[in-house]
């Protein structure tokens, strides 16, 4: 019994000594422990803030994606007061847009064996019809004489090809810039290339800006009045600056 009591007393004394030493350690190192705890709390707070920021950024990205429209631009024949004419129809299957405006850049692209040039065209389109809807069919762009213009360039190009001793091709290149505000109030410029009588494709901002700079700075021709001799002079011009040397398809 005495041995057991002695063991209990010794164990109790050891525990008390350890607790005493721990209290002394904590008292003597209080400043270091305070700093450590402060750093630990700060680290945990920073980690939580970072995670919250990541979640907020993902939520913002999701909201921005959900707020974006989904444009489809189609080139086709549309009925006008002057009969069937070439037109561009803009549909939006995504979120509604506000304040929609547009700009067009249309080129006549001529290719020969040794040269490929694109000439800015003026007046191919000139009329539009906004539906005032934010979704669905929102805009139709058309030219009152675009069919006649295309028929004239076909005729003049036919004469030009006959007079040349090399294969020559031509086509109409069309580009559109849609300017609008999304449902979050953010302003956008979207660029598209629209092959004649086909569906358009989205361009990068850099590609689109390059095309419109070249169009705005170029000497424009009218397909209504241009002749094969005019086109021959343009093709043979030694000083012609190729305004548009990259076709986006």
Asked if 109 contacts 120 with a C-beta cutoff of 8 angstroms, the reply is no
Give the residue ranges of DSSP H helices in the chain: 2-28, 30-67, 146-163, 205-217, 228-236
pLDDT-based confidence at residue 74 (cuts at 50, 70, 90): very high
Q: What is the pLDDT of residue 90?
A: 95
pTM above 0.85, yes or no: no
Higher pLDDT, 39 or 106: 106
| Geometric angle at alpha carbon 211, from 207 and 217, rounded to 5° | 145
Asked if 101 contacts 176 with a C-beta cutoff of 8 angstroms, the reply is no
Higher pLDDT, 22 or 149: 149
Contact residues for 91 (Cβ-Cβ < 8 A; gap 6+): 71, 72, 73, 74, 136, 137, 138
Instruction: List 199's β-bridge partners, or say none.
Output: 74
pLDDT in tens, 98-146: 899 999 999 988 887 777 888 898 889 988 999 878 788 999 999 888 8
How far apart CA 231 and CA 152 sit, in angstroms, is 12
For residue 242, the tally of other CB atoms under 10 A from its CB is 12
**Dihedrals φ, ψ of 2, to 5°?**
-60, -35
How far apart CA 99 and CA 70 sit, in angstroms, is 16
Burial of 97 (0-12, 13-18, 19+ CB in 10 A): buried
Contact residues for 178 (Cβ-Cβ < 8 A; gap 6+): 71, 90, 100, 101, 102, 188, 189, 190, 192
Cα 45–chain centre separation? 38
pLDDT-based confidence at residue 45 (cuts at 50, 70, 90): confident
**Dihedrals φ, ψ of 128, to 5°?**
-150, 160
What torsion do the CA atoms of 143, 145, 150, 152 make, to the nearest 10 degrees?
A: -160
Q: Does residue 16 carry a pLDDT above 70?
A: no
Give the three-state DSSP class for 78.
strand
Rg of the chain on CA atoms, in Å = 36
Average pLDDT for 82-90: 88
């Amino acid at each position: 019994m005495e041995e057991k009591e002695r063991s209990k007393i010794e164990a109790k004394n050891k525990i008390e000594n350890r607790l005493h030493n721990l209290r002394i350690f904590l008292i003597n190192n209080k400043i270091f422990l305070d700093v450590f705890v402060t750093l630990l709390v700060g680290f945990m707070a920073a980690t939580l803030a970072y995670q919250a920021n990541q979640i907020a950024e993902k939520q913002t990205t999701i909201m921005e994606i959900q707020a974006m429209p989904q444009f489809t631009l189609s080139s086709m024949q549309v009925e006008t007061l002057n009969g069937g004419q070439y037109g561009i129809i803009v549909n939006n299957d995504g979120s509604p847009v506000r304040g929609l405006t547009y700009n067009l850049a249309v080129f006549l692209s001529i290719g020969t064996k040794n040269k490929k040039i694109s000439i800015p065209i003026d007046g191919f389109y000139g009329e539009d019809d906004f539906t005032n809807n934010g979704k669905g069919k929102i805009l139709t762009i058309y030219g009152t004489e675009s069919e006649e213009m295309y028929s004239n360039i076909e005729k003049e190009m036919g004469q030009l090809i006959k007079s040349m001793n090399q294969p020559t091709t031509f086509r109409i290149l069309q580009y559109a810039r849609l300017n609008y505000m999304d449902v979050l109030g953010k302003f956008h410029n979207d660029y598209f290339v629209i092959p004649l009588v086909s569906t358009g494709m989205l361009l990068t901002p850099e590609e689109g800006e390059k095309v419109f700079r070249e169009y705005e700075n170029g000497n424009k021709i009218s397909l209504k009045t241009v002749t094969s001799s005019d086109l021959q002079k343009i093709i043979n011009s030694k000083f012609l600056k190729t305004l548009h040397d990259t076709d986006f398809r």
